[in-house]
């Protein structure tokens, strides 16, 4: 089990001053200047001696927050529970959860400072006159060491909503799809195959991967802005394990998400690489994109559904990027004219990117205030108008 030393030594401002004083006294006695510890990153100047005060009035803290959309009813103290997500907690404190980086106080002496664990106590405090959220333990003077499996950290978004999606490659080129091995027959007289059934596969490499994903090649991803072909959707149907090399190779379906058909392709199985250590944040630069498709092929998109966007890492998107969804404006007939009137776009919800390729990314719809459809626009999030 992967483990790490999460907190090293957590000192509040008084603790850091005491530690520095002790090191100076010991060094003076030894006649040599104190050496910097290379294992602890230097504290930035603005955080060298922060003034930390408890918050006693949430409304007063919200008034002092400036552009930060702190809720007046934000809890002053919150105990993280199993099943929480970072997005949930951000919503308890902020009207606009994508502002999380401006609220969360990062202790530079803690490895992976963005990770939050069940049982951890979070406190709303004022740091240099601005509201910030920080783990309660950061203000204690005594050293603390904690070892925890990395997987125990709460995720940014609901893992179960995207776990099946992450178990298979999602974007393939035309060449990759055409060269991939494919199902030619079932080992028994079935019309379709499912979990624990056998299949025969043609063109499986002799030095095969440990596990394979069975996919059905869906429609193309066409960028509506440029008309470029971005690739093809690979719809996960199951997972297969090798029984004998063949040719054709005999394989067993170890998992099935839907029926496996003759002609389905096989791609090397991707390791589940979803990380819990990203956090909600706006894009680094303005983004203007479009929803290309929705996983599952439904016509109307709802909360916790997965969508593909025609923007990726080349546009500055990375896991954790939050975007606003804008419902495409309709055209209605003019009751006193012959033409039609184009209605303005309306903000319809928020989504968060969790996987990117250079020109395409996948995101989870986190909230929907109006119906969302394919070809609706996505842009950098903005504060909704007051009221």
Among residues 130, 154, 178, the one where a domain terminates is 154
pTM comes to 0.74
Predicted local distance difference test score (pLDDT) of residue 110: 60
Q: Are residues 7 and 72 in the same domain?
A: yes
Predicted local distance difference test score (pLDDT) of residue 236: 86
In this structure, is residue 84 part of a structural domain? Answer: yes
- Angle subtended at Cα 187 by Cα 266 and Cα 247, rounded to the nearest 5 degrees: 60
**Cβ atoms 255, 238 nearer than 8 A:** yes
Q: Are residues 37 and 150 in the same domain?
A: yes
Predicted local distance difference test score (pLDDT) of residue 289: 96
Q: Are residues 309 and 262 in the same domain?
A: no
Predicted local distance difference test score (pLDDT) of residue 19: 41
Kindly give the residue spans of alpha helices, DSSP state H, lying in the chain: 13-30, 58-63, 86-93, 100-103, 159-166, 174-179
Q: Over the chain (387 residues), what is each successive 10-residue block's mean pLDDT?
A: 36 40 39 41 50 87 90 94 92 93 76 80 91 74 47 81 68 92 92 91 84 90 92 90 90 91 90 67 94 80 91 94 92 89 92 92 92 93 60
| Token pair of 256 as six digits | 């099935």
Give whole-number Cα distances, 11 to 14, 79, 136, 145, 326, in Å: 8, 20, 11, 12, 45
Give SS3 for 100: helix
Q: Is the peptide bond before 131 cis (omega within 30 degrees of 0)?
A: no
Q: Are residues 243 and 339 in the same domain?
A: no
In this structure, is residue 36 part of a structural domain? Answer: yes
Predicted local distance difference test score (pLDDT) of residue 263: 96
Give the contacts of 350 (CB within 8 A, at least 6 positions apart): 97, 98, 322, 323, 324, 325, 365, 366, 367, 381
Q: Are residues 127 and 176 in the same domain?
A: no
Q: Are residues 93 and 228 in the same domain?
A: no
| Token pair of 320 as six digits | 């954790």
Predicted local distance difference test score (pLDDT) of residue 48: 55
Q: Whole domain around residue 301: which residue ranges?
A: 288-379
Element counts in the chain: helices (H) and strands (E): 6, 23
Among residues 93, 125, 154, the one where a domain terminates is 154
- Look up tokens 């990203």; give the residue: 278
Assign residue 349 the CATH number of its domain: 2.40.10.410
Q: Are residues 192 and 149 in the same domain?
A: no
Q: Are residues 49 and 117 in the same domain?
A: yes
Give whole-number Cα distances, 50 to 105, 128, 196, 275, in Å: 11, 6, 60, 31
Give the contacts of 9 (CB within 8 A, at least 6 positions apart): 109, 143, 144, 145
Q: Are residues 235 and 177 in the same domain?
A: yes
Predicted local distance difference test score (pLDDT) of residue 384: 52
In this structure, is residue 283 part of a structural domain? Answer: no
Q: Are residues 43 and 140 in the same domain?
A: yes
| Token pair of 304 as six digits | 């916790």
Relative to beta strand 77-79, strand 121-127 is antiparallel
Q: Are residues 306 and 221 in the same domain?
A: no
Give whole-number Cα distances, 91 to 99, 136, 317, 363, in Å: 10, 19, 22, 18
Q: What is the tally of structural domains in the chain? A: 3
Q: How many residues does the chain have?
A: 387
Predicted local distance difference test score (pLDDT) of residue 332: 92
Q: Are residues 310 and 351 in the same domain?
A: yes
Q: How far apart are CA 360 and CA 310, in angstroms?
A: 5
């Amino acid at each position: 089990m992967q483990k790490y030393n999460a907190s090293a030594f957590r000192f509040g401002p008084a603790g850091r001053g005491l530690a520095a004083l002790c090191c100076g006294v010991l060094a003076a006695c030894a006649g040599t200047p104190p050496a910097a510890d290379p294992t602890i990153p230097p504290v930035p100047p603005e955080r060298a001696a922060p003034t930390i005060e408890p918050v006693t009035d949430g409304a007063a803290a919200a008034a002092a927050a400036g552009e930060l959309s702190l809720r007046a009813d934000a809890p002053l103290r919150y105990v993280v529970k199993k099943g929480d997500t970072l997005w949930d907690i951000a919503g308890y404190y902020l009207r606009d959860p994508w502002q999380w980086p401006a609220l969360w106080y990062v202790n530079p002496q803690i490895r992976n400072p963005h990770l939050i664990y069940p049982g951890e106590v979070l406190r709303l405090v004022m740091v240099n006159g601005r509201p910030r959220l920080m783990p309660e333990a950061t203000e204690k003077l005594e050293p603390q060491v904690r070892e925890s499996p990395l997987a125990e950290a709460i995720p940014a978004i609901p893992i179960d909503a995207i776990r099946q999606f992450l178990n298979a490659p999602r974007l393939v080129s035309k060449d990759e799809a055409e060269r991939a091995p494919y199902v030619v027959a079932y080992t028994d007289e079935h019309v379709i195959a499912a979990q624990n059934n056998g299949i025969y596969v043609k063109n499986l490499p002799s030095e095969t991967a440990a596990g394979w994903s069975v996919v059905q090649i869906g429609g193309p991803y066409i960028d509506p802005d440029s008309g470029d072909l971005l690739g093809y959707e690979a719809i996960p149907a199951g997972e297969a394990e090798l029984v004998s090399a063949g040719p054709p190779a005999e394989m067993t379906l170890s998992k099935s998400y839907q029926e496996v058909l003759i002609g389905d392709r096989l791609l090397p199985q991707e390791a589940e690489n979803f990380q819990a250590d990203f956090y909600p944040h706006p894009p680094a630069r303005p983004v203007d994109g479009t929803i290309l498709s929705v996983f599952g092929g439904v016509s109307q998109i709802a909360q916790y559904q997965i969508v593909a966007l025609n923007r990726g890492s080349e546009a500055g998107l990375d896991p954790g990027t939050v975007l606003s969804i804008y419902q495409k404006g309709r055209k209605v007939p003019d009751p006193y004219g012959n033409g039609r009137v184009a209605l303005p776009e309306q903000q319809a919800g928020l989504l968060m990117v969790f996987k990117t390729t250079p020109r395409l990314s996948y995101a989870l719809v986190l909230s929907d205030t109006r119906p969302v459809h394919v070809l609706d626009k996505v842009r950098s999030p903005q504060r909704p108008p007051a009221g």
